[in-house]
Structure 1
Amino acid sequence: MSVLEMKVPSPGESITEVEIATWLVKDGDYVEKDQPIAEVDSDKATLELPAEQSGVITLKAEEGDVVQVGQVVCLIDMDAAKPSGSAAPAAEAPKQEEAPKAAEPAKQEAPAPQPATQPVAAATQTYATGAPSPAAKKILDEKGMDASQVSGSGRDGRITKSDAELAAVPALGG
């Protein structure tokens, strides 16, 4: 039986411990290599902890636990067979949780009544709506375009780098 002990990696030079903020998988779930399995908080940042191998996970720390860098936080049974059929979507569920927690309630409520999606979309107007990300702003400046000429597809209508790259330069009228 090949079992991988996953240890907390060092998130930075002077950081010796982190807190398990959120487990993105459940004990006994099948995880894919590089799938985010947990979010850990350090003094300086929140980081995702990816699975080092594919297999069935056994959690060794609880949410809220403060763990030392290098401490074993979970085990991955690499010999476990990947579940087929109905169990496969459960392994993909954590990928939906990669979005920040603030967005989750809107995602869970939106599928129920279709008309409710319109007010939810209008309610997500924030300071970022229509604002370009730094990378998108640079691209728009290079194209000589204003952010108001581009519709954003990012979170809350933010203009992403991709939006800026795909934006067509307006034709000069004469």
Structure 2
Amino acid sequence: MASAALELLGFFLGLLGLLGTTVSTVLPYWQISAHIGSNIVTAVANMRGLWMECVYQSTGAFQCETYNSMLALPADMQASRALMVVSLVLSFLAVALAVLGMQCTVCLGGSGAAKSRVAGVGGACFLTAGFLALVPVAWTTHEVVQTFYRPDLPSSMKFELGECLYVGLAAALLSMLGGALLCASC
């Protein structure tokens, strides 16, 4: 019974990780314009994500524009896109495998070693998906911090860490924890 509870906990943590990874991948809040200097009251805020760049004006207007060319993007942005999409695909696969292999479901007939192995493979997929989501989040965080402290850049070109980086970090950790619990339960 403890194993079934462990499976359920791992599954729901992995599911939360999938939700967070989806939000982090889709929303444009990876980098937010830094308001530094003597005039912190600004009329415009810029946000960058994996798929688009947005501008928020103090009048309430919010305008987004997708990136025109994938090949014109920096290498870290291209890699981040690919890793996050692969992470999402693996997370969906992990959910399907975990549902099939958990003891509380009647899929795959009965409670045998085969069900346990399928749940374990689902856990391994969650672990891998979490790691794949962690890499672009950490990489982008590093790039933002390094760029922020460059003295040769004007403050108008500096960005701060956006909310999606924090959500992505939490999602990656939840996916890895859920995957570890699923693997430990088999």
Structure richer in helix, relative to its length: 2
TM-score of the pair, normalised by structure 1 = 0.21
Structure number with bigger Rg: 1
Higher relative contact order (CA 8 A, sep 6+): 2
Structure richer in strand, relative to its length: 1
TM-score of the pair, normalised by structure 2 = 0.20
